[in-house]
Structure 1
C-alpha cells in the first residue's frame, strides 16, 4: 500500500519538480518514480549503513534522503542532481512523504485501532464504523492479556511476544509503556480458562527460560464483539493489581479466578478499616505472630481439618488444638466454626489489602 501511496504523491509532484524523483525501500529497490520505467530497479551501490542514518548522501548523480518511522529508516527519496537545490527537494520530499505515511498508518493501521479500543481512546459509536473501514472482523471471540515486565535485559520482550504470535490479522501485540504489553488474542468460542492459562504460561516460560526476562500476566474474560475488548483489558489489569496484593507468588492471574479477592479490592479503604475494627475490637489481629498466622493459613488450606493440618505441620493434634484455642482467646473467633473461619479469612485479606493501600487522612 505504501508503494501506491508514494507513487501517487510523486506523480503529482513530477510537473512541479523538473527533475527525476522517486523512492527506494530498505532493500534499495525503486518502488515509486516520476520515470515509470525505473520502478523495480535495484541500486546495488547503496549500502545498509547509508540507509541506517537520516543524513542525506549523494551517489551516481542522485541526492538521497532516508526517512521512516523505525530506528533504521525504511525508505529514502532520491532527486536527480547533486547541487543544493537537489538536496532541498530531497529534504522537502522526505518530510512530506514521511508525514503522509505516518498519517496513513495511524488512520488505517489495525494495531493502532485495537490500541485505541482497549484504552478507551475511541468513541463507542465510532468503533464499528472504523472496524468496517479497516475490514476488521468484529464478531469473533477474543481475550486480552496484560503482560507486566518485572525484570528484563537487553532483549525486547515486545519483539519476543510478537514472534510468538506472528498472525497479525488475528492477534495483536501492543506496547502500552516501558513495562506493560497488551496481547489481544483471537480464540475459539469453546476455549476455557485452563487453555488461556496454558497459553499465558508458555509466554512466561519463553521469556524467563530463553531470554531471562521475568513477567506476570493478567487474563481478562473472553468477549464477543470488538466493543467489549476494553472491558476484557481492564479485567486483565485488575487481575494484575489484585494478584500483586493477594497472590504475590503467582505469575499468572485470571480475572475469572479472583474470587472474593476481587470484592475486597473494590471496597473503599475506609470501609475496610471499619470492618477490621468491628471484627477485632481490641485490635487483636496485630497480636498474632508469624508462626500463628502460618498455622492459620495451613488450617484454611486443609479445609479446617484439624487432623490433616497437624499432620502437614508435623505437630501433635493437641498442639494444634491449643493454638486454635489461643487464637480464639485473643480474637474471639473459633476457626473450627465455619462462620468464624469465613470472617477471619476475609479479615486477613482486608488486612493485606490495607497494607498495600494505606488510608490517607
Structure 2
C-alpha cells in the first residue's frame, strides 16, 4: 500500500477542520498526517490499544482512532483525529470512510492488474480465475482485445506511462509491462466491435509513441477473447502475430493474428519438414538460381493475381518480355506460374524458404 494514497486524502481533510488528521500503521508509526512534523513518530501503545478492538472508535492519548482492517479483518492501519470529544469522534469516522475507500480502490486497481498479468502469463490455474475474479468484482465474460506493443531498436521506460494516459479507465483497461521491450494493453471492448476499430486503436498507439517518445514499435493483435480464461491464448496470438509478421510481412508494423494467413501455418512447421518440402519442389536447388530481378517479377505477378497484362503494365515491360521470363522460370523450376496450382505451390515454397532463412539468423 502506497502511503502517498493516504497523504493525498489527508491533505484534503485540512479544509474540513483545524484538527490534526493522520494514519498510523500496525507498529504505531505515523505514515501520513496533516501535520508533517509528526511523520515518522511512533506510538506503539496506541497501536496495541487499537489492535485490541478494531470495531469502534478508540480514544487514547487525547486522540480518536479507528482501525482500517484488511481482508482477514485484522488491523492494518488506523485513522486518527486530534481530540477526544464527540466532534473528534465524528471527524475520525468521516476520515475513516474516505481513507478506507481510497485503500480499497488502490488495492483493487493494483490487484486487478496483477491478476490480469498472471492470466496472460499462465501463472494462475483456470479454476482459480473464477474465484479471484469474484473477489475482485471482475466481469469474467466481457469481450477484451489484447495488444502487444514491442519497442524496436530503442526502448523507453516512459512507454508504460504514455500508454496508461491513453487508456485511463483503470477498472476496465490494463497496461502491463512484460519486459524491457514489451508492453501489453488489455482493453475491454463492446460486443461486435469491428476489426477495423482494433486496427485504429493500434495505429493510434503507434503514432502516439512515435510522436511523443520517438519509439518505433511492432504491434500484434490477438483474437478478441470473450472470457477471462481466453486472455492467455489471445496474448500468445499477439506474440505470434509479431513473430510471423517479422518473417513474412516486414513492411507492416501492425499485425492481426486473424490476418496472418498461410504464414501462420508455415511458422508452426518443423524446419526438417520445410527442408524436405523445398527439396521435393525444387530439384537441385533450382530456386537458388533465380536472381533478384526474377524474384521481383514473380512477386509482382502474384500481387496482380497472375494477370500477365496487368503485371507487365506495372513492371513497365512488354507483355512478351514477361511471358519470356515466366517461361524461363518454368524451365528452371518445372513450375508454370500461369497455372493456379503451380502458382500456389511456388508461393508457399517461397514463404517456406523465407521462414528457414529467418531461423538461420537467430
Bin the TM-score by the shorter chain: 0.7 to 0.9
Quote the residue 1:67 is aligned against. Answer: none
2:7 pairs, out of 17, 25, 37, with: 25
CA contact (8 A) 2:109 2:171 kept: no
Aligned length: 293
- Match runs of 1:131-142 below 5 Å: 131-142=133-144
Q: Tell me the CA shift for residue 39 of structure 1.
A: 10
Quote the residue 1:295 is aligned against. Answer: 297
- Match runs of 1:308-323 below 5 Å: 308-323=310-325
Offset from partner CA, 1:114-168 (integer Å, 9 cap, x none): 0000000000110000000111111110111111011346561111111000001
- C-alpha root-mean-square deviation of aligned residues, in Å? 3.1
- Match runs of 1:91-170 below 5 Å: 109-152=111-154, 156-170=158-172
Quote the residue 2:48 is aligned against. Answer: none
CA–CA distance in 2 between the matches of 1:154 and 1:343?
A: 43
TM-score for both structures, normalised by structure 2: 0.74
Question: For 1:342, what is the secondary structure of its paired residue?
Answer: helix
Question: For 1:178, what is the secondary structure of its paired residue?
Answer: coil
- Match runs of 1:244-323 below 5 Å: 244-323=246-325
Quote the residue 1:237 is aligned against. Answer: 239
CA–CA distance in 2 between the matches of 1:216 and 1:111?
A: 23
Offset from partner CA, 1:273-297 (integer Å, 9 cap, x none): 0000000011101111111100000
CA contact (8 A) 1:269 1:359 kept: no
Aligned in 2, Cα 1:24/1:194: closer, same or farther, shift over 3 Å?
closer
Structure 1: segments with no counterpart, 5+ residues: 7-22, 47-59, 65-76, 81-96
CA contact (8 A) 1:108 1:134 kept: no
Structure 2: segments with no counterpart, 5+ residues: 12-20, 44-75, 78-102
Quote the residue 2:34 is aligned against. Answer: 42
Aligned in 2, Cα 1:202/1:107: closer, same or farther, shift over 3 Å?
closer
Question: For 1:115, what is the secondary structure of its paired residue?
Answer: helix
CA–CA distance in 2 between the matches of 1:108 and 1:173?
A: 11
TM-score for both structures, normalised by structure 1: 0.74
CA contact (8 A) 2:224 2:234 kept: yes
CA contact (8 A) 2:160 2:183 kept: yes
Deviates more, 1:188-197 or 1:284-293: 188-197
CA–CA distance in 1 between the matches of 2:250 and 2:225?
A: 27
Q: Tell me the CA shift for residue 25 of structure 1.
A: 2.8
- Match runs of 1:326-345 below 5 Å: 326-345=328-347
CA–CA distance in 2 between the matches of 1:281 and 1:159?
A: 55
Aligned in 2, Cα 1:31/1:293: closer, same or farther, shift over 3 Å?
farther
CA–CA distance in 1 between the matches of 2:131 and 2:6?
A: 34
CA contact (8 A) 1:269 1:358 kept: no
